[in-house]
Amino acid sequence: MNRKTLLLISVLVLLLVLSGCRKEDQILEGTGYGITHKDYVGVAKIKVKDGVVEDLTLNEVLLPSTWAEISIGTDVPEDVVVADGKWYAKYIVIGDRNFTGTVRDEPLTEGTETFTKQTVKYSSDDIEDLYLWLRQPEDNSAWYAQKLLDNEAHIAKSDWSKANYQLKVNGFTKRDIDYWPSSEGSIGWKGNMEAISAALKGTKMDASENLVRNDDGYWSINGVKSGATLVDFKDYYKVALRAYNNALANND
């Protein structure tokens, strides 16, 4: 073997080693979506290094059952529907889709679960039931969440132009509306999101079967107590796991 061949082999080996090092040091990013706490779309943004969670942020996007509710007046206008004593915009626009709301004849159920807040069914030309559609493939909730995060949604008149009713909340996410603020004896929503993020940092998201709520109300992950107290903790874990898997898939 001559010197030129040896040199070429050495260079190739060096390149392979450097490439491997860069891959190990690489920070992978991913986003996960999915229904949380029955009536919201959870969004998890994650950073992963060497299979370990480096950073995680969580948010929840409101459904029309919250952001399309309007303040009650005297007479019910034609572009408003009434369900369980609450007023909702009959017409809403999300992205390039126009939705019309109708009051459900009976409570929406799935198995043993009843979705008491989903009293109005919103339908578009290609989506029969927005809520059920959002519970399907992740791409659906991803589309919805991104449109609302980009402020591409509004309550509308019958011609789909923006309506001017007074809304019960101003914003499309729990962060926007300061949902469940902290108080004495409670860390609130933001505190719980931070506690979940802190508990999952440094893990490889391998605890799906080892999420336990202790008698004191705090959740443990693989036997390690977290600071989170949310009843639907597992919903947020699932969304974070989707983000984690998406981050790893982005590296394939």
Integer Cα distance of 238 and 181 in angstroms: 24
Quickly state the pLDDT bin for 2 (edges 50, 70, 90): low
Place of tokens 């980009």: 150
220-242: b (≥16 Cβ within 10 Å) or e: bbeeeebebbbeebebbbbbbbb
Domains along the sequence of the chain with CATH: 26-59+181-249 (3.30.390), 61-177 (no CATH)
Cβ atoms of 157 and 79 within 8 Å: the answer is yes
Helices (H), ranges, 87-214:
130-134, 138-149, 174-177, 188-200
**Spatial contact of 245 and 44, defined as CB atoms under 8 Å apart:** no
Average pLDDT over residues 44-68: 99
Residue 199's region, left for phi above 0, alpha for psi from -120 to 50, else beta, is alpha
In the predicted model, is pLDDT for residue 65 greater than 90? yes
Predicted confidence (pLDDT) per residue in 115-163, tens digit: 999 999 999 999 999 999 999 999 999 999 999 999 999 999 999 999 9
Phi, psi of 3 (to 5 degrees): -65, -35
> Model's pTM, two decimal places?
0.89
Confidence of residue 185 (pLDDT cuts 50, 70, 90): confident
